[in-house]
Structure 1
Amino acid sequence: MQSLRQLLSALPPLDWLALLLYFAAWVGYAQFAKRHAEARGSLLALTNRVRRQWMLQLTYREMRVLDGAVSQALLSSPSFFASTTILIIGGLLAAIGASEKTSALVLELPFTVQTSALVFDLKLGLLTGIFVYAFFRFTWSMRQYTFGALLVASAPEAGQFRELPPSARETFADRAGAVVGMAAEAFNDGLRGYYLAFPVVAWFFSPWVFLVATGGVIYVLYQREFRSEVLDALRP
């Protein structure tokens, strides 16, 4: 309780405002991207349609070596980021353990704001929390991709699908495409955490830089998910 009171008094009102706007921007943008994905045609929504089409085409193929290779390739990205995130978390925990030395080193950088050790630890703790969140999203993405790979491996042969009702192909494509799409969404959440870690790094300089960086990162995320050139190329 005493540490909380110290923190409340040590952090200036502008920093609290910047921190509140940061979380509001993160949560607000995440909700916006999820609700407007189909209406505005986000990158994730369009690629999910491609994933569903992939699973439908899979039901017509006799040999599915290509599908297995693609499943393995999709799994490699969240696996790489999960491993990298563990290293980042370890580095941040080491920095928290030696916060006095780390704080002195950061304060030697130009334009950094003088803060107490408690506030410095708060900033490092927030960074650590962001990467812990990203790690959980990446590992959940990995698990969902393995579930999708299981569905690919357990799919009936093309000849068997011809003996099943016509709706069997569509049902399989819907189910398998949804699983792989959820894996991609979890991976996207982890990447968003990486992007939104940069404004927290900017917070070490000043709350104004923190606010500007938050707005800049949200703008970049919006442009890439809703206005990018690759999105135009993916549109039918």
Structure 2
Amino acid sequence: MNRVNQVVKMHLRNKFTWFLVPWAILGANFLINAVIALSFNDGETVNTGAVASVFVYAFIAGTLTIKETFPFAIGLSIRRKDYFFGTALTVLLVNSISGIALTILSAIEQATDGWNVNLHLFKIGFLSDLPYIGILGFNILVLVHCFFLGFAISSLHRRFGSISMYIFFTAMLLIGTIGSYTMTHFDLWSDFGHWVADNYMDLFWYMIPLVVIYSLISYGLLRKAAV
């Protein structure tokens, strides 16, 4: 447990990557959109997708974490198992804090009618019917999902090298191309859109087993990864 705590402390020393960068990006988006809404808005509601930048950054952080910390941790004689569990604990801690912050900002945004300028940046429209505890759960789970998706991809690269990335993304491109062609050929896009609209909350819950799968893949790959 002491080694796991060491990994957590190692990660949290880098506050720039874990906290400052994502919130600086989101803060800049907020200021820009607030100025636009204040200067040019004629009373209409301004909906932005800027909050997505936090979730995108969680994915990017997942892809960078191993490169920046794994060799250093192993050099300190930290076991791969301890590195993984320490990193997972850090991810849960950091993204729980981020999820709480996003939920509070969403509540303030709603209470102030869009920061008094009809600006909706933190409020996610299709979650409007959920209680705040549900919105909090959504924020944390999606952030953790995005991180571990990036972490699994980075683990694949660490275990098998650059060639694995070419194979992986080529396979994803082929699957996407074949899937897109099939959907277009059989005119299924409209049905798919309606299905997503009707079942988006079920898709949200599917992220839980996906996080478990990403974690197991990452753990297995890092156990045999070269430093």
- Whether the TM-score (by the shorter chain) exceeds 0.5 is no
Of structures 1 and 2, the one with the larger relative CO (CA 8 A, separation 6+) is: 1
Q: Which has the larger radius of gyration?
A: 1
Q: How does the TM-score come out when normalised to structure 1?
A: 0.31
TM-score (norm 2): 0.32
